[in-house]
Amino acid sequence: MALKQIMLAKKIQQRKAALEALTAEETTLKTRSAEVEQAIEEAQTEEETAAVEEEVNKLDTDKAAFDEKKSKLEGEITQLETELEELNSKEPPKQTRSNTRSQEGAEEGMNKYQVRELLKTGEYYKREEVREFYEKFKNLRAVSGGELTIPEVIVNRIMDIMGDFTTLYPLVDRIQVKGTTRILIDTDTTAASWIEMPGAIPTGDVGTIGEVDFDGWKVGKVTFVDNYLLQDSIINLDTYVTKKIARAIALALDLAIVKGTGAAGKQPVGIIPQIPAGNKADVVADEKLLINLVKKIGLIDTGLDAVGEIVAVVKRSTYYNRLVEFSINVDSSGNVVGKLPNLRNPDLVGLRVVFNNNLDEDTVLFGDFSKYTLVERESITIDSSKEVKFVEDQTAFRGKGRFDGKPVKPEAFALLTITPQA
């Protein structure tokens, strides 16, 4: 068994290395995408337009191939890690899918890409744990004692759908855990020391370890289902229930990530309450507004440490009222002579702009959102009551999940307030 574990570990290492190698390919695709966008704007003749269109089609094909390659590697890593974990815990491997339950067996660790493939082929609705869950779901009769744990394959579907209803959830660093978790973070960003080849590395350079504790605050939503829908196929019921739960949790998480009050409010810690005073500033809404806003990115990107992608988060009205005009150039007669703003993928001098209406009016939040960690507890449960809207022939269902989160590096964020010109 030891040899098999070594072999599995080797395979995992190889696939993770291949996944890391895709980072360079992803960067190249982003660069090509920016170049193609520029070429589209500059194309004048039919020949130039045709050449750009050909490049667009080629880029789409390459992106699709990249996504498929990445998805395949992630799926293989998940399956190998699951098999290794089973061997390490000395648990016998599960024999067939029909013997699996909830978070046991072959579907353990199933990621969103695998769930998407199951949905495409229709296998998702044929899986025993899905069919069994919705049969039990239809027969839930009381909130008290009637709680039902949602299988992991459906949980992953809910988590995937959440991205359709939230703007910040896809940006933050997310981990799935059980119980109260303590994560150790190396907060030392000083340079390494140069020493003689046989010399020992000074113990002072081992890093400063900071403890970050995560709890598991409960978030829930009650929704109503027409009793006739309960009698329909599991396809309709699954679509309705998963979207309802995903949307409700997504909206709650978005607000918590931005302004969460932590233990005081029984919710995750938000970014804005933790931003250091030195990373907050006012910017006057004059002709130099854009220039002065962009200068403040230096509060985050200091050059002392590597940062990930910096994103600008604003309320929609703030973008339209304050920033969109800087993407439009007009001549003295009011005719447009520069590029129009890309409202489908808004940007701010190249920085990606993300809309979030939880931001206050006339505020801009710059940040590397990978420095915010969101902990997702593995179990999401659901229960029901027929009493609330009995006369309307509806059943109330309550979806519940547990999350916690906090910015592990608050200085990776900056909050700018746009003030009126004097």
Residues 336-384: tens digit of each pLDDT: 555 556 666 787 877 888 999 899 999 999 999 989 988 876 566 676 6
User: Is 246 found in the same domain as 306?
Assistant: no
Q: Within a domain: residue 220? A: yes
User: Is 161 found in the same domain as 19?
Assistant: yes
pLDDT for 304: 65
User: Is 279 found in the same domain as 345?
Assistant: yes
Range of lowest pLDDT (35-49, 305-319, 385-399): 385-399
User: Is 383 found in the same domain as 316?
Assistant: no
Angle at which helices 46-88 and 2-42 cross, to 10°:
160
Alpha-carbon distance 40 to 273, whole Å?
42
pLDDT for 378: 58
Q: Within a domain: residue 278? A: yes
The answer to whether 155 and 378 have CB atoms below 8 angstroms apart is yes
User: Is 329 found in the same domain as 236?
Assistant: no
Q: Within a domain: residue 196? A: no
Question: For 260-326, where are the alpha helices, taking DSSP H only?
Answer: 289-295, 316-318
Where is pLDDT greater, at 128 or 182?
Answer: 128
Q: Residue 107 burial by CB count (10 A; 0-12/13-18/19+): exposed, middle or buried?
A: buried
Range of lowest pLDDT (116-130, 215-229, 266-280): 215-229
Band of pLDDT at residue 274, cut at 50, 70 and 90: very high
Q: What percent of the chain has pLDDT over 90?
A: 13
Place of tokens 């988060």: 313
Say how far residue 115 (Cα) sits from the centre of its chain: 17
pLDDT for 414: 95
User: Is 278 found in the same domain as 245?
Assistant: no
Tokens (6 digits) for 406: 């906090």
Tokens (6 digits) for 199: 């010399």
pLDDT digits (tens, 9 = 90+) for 199-231: 666 655 444 445 555 666 767 666 677 666 666
Alpha-carbon distance 4 to 8, whole Å?
6
The answer to whether 403 and 296 have CB atoms below 8 angstroms apart is no
Q: What percent of the chain has pLDDT over 70?
A: 66
SS3 state of residue 166: coil
Q: Within a domain: residue 283? A: yes
pLDDT digits (tens, 9 = 90+) for 56-103: 888 888 888 887 888 787 778 877 777 776 666 554 433 333 333 333
Band of pLDDT at residue 279, cut at 50, 70 and 90: very high
pLDDT for 392: 56
User: Is 277 found in the same domain as 389?
Assistant: no
CB atoms within 10 A of CB 96: 9
Alpha-carbon distance 32 to 250, whole Å?
32
Range of lowest pLDDT (114-118, 186-190, 405-409): 186-190
Where is pLDDT greater, at 47 or 259?
Answer: 259
Which H, E and C letters describe 213-228, residue by residue?
Answer: EECCEEEEEEEEEEHH
User: Is 381 found in the same domain as 413?
Assistant: no
Alpha-carbon distance 161 to 245, whole Å?
9
Alpha-carbon distance 409 to 365, whole Å?
15
CATH classification at residue 343: 3.30.2320.10
Position 33 pLDDT exceeds 70: yes
Alpha-carbon distance 310 to 210, whole Å?
24
Position 142 pLDDT exceeds 60: no
User: Is 362 found in the same domain as 247?
Assistant: no
Give the pTM.
0.58
Residue 192 is classified by DSSP as P
Q: Within a domain: residue 33? A: no
Q: Within a domain: residue 339? A: yes
Alpha-carbon distance 341 to 353, whole Å?
12
User: Is 235 found in the same domain as 164?
Assistant: yes
Residue 74: its H or E element: helix 46-88
pLDDT for 72: 81
User: Is 381 found in the same domain as 258?
Assistant: yes
Alpha-carbon distance 216 to 116, whole Å?
28
pLDDT for 259: 92
Tokens (6 digits) for 373: 């960690």
Where is pLDDT greater, at 188 or 264?
Answer: 264
pLDDT for 181: 53
Strand pairing report for 209-214 and 347-348: unpaired
* Selection from 375, 415, 354 nearest residue 256 by Cα: 375
pLDDT for 60: 84
Q: How many folded domains does the chain comprise?
A: 2
CA separation, residue 20 to residues 16, 23, 27, 114, 170 (Å) = 6, 6, 12, 20, 20
CB atoms within 10 A of CB 236: 11
The CA-to-CA distance between both ends of the chain, in Å, stands at 75
pLDDT for 61: 86
Length of the chain: 422
Tokens (6 digits) for 126: 């044929």
Q: Within a domain: residue 96? A: no
* Selection from 327, 322, 272, 258 nearest residue 293 by Cα: 322
Query: Average pLDDT of 153-175?
Result: 80
Boundaries of domain holding 130: 2-24+63-90+107-177+215-269+374-407
Q: Within a domain: residue 45? A: no
Position 104 pLDDT exceeds 50: no
Tokens (6 digits) for 147: 């709680």
pLDDT for 189: 56
Position 255 pLDDT exceeds 60: yes
The answer to whether 114 and 160 have CB atoms below 8 angstroms apart is no
Alpha-carbon distance 44 to 39, whole Å?
10
pLDDT for 270: 94
User: Is 403 found in the same domain as 255?
Assistant: yes
Across the chain, what does the average pLDDT equal?
A: 75
Any residues with CB less than 8 A from the CB of 144 and at least 6 apart, and which?
Answer: none
Position 245 pLDDT exceeds 50: yes
Where is pLDDT greater, at 54 or 152?
Answer: 54
SS3 state of residue 174: strand
For the chain, helix (H) and strand (E) counts, in that order, are 9, 14
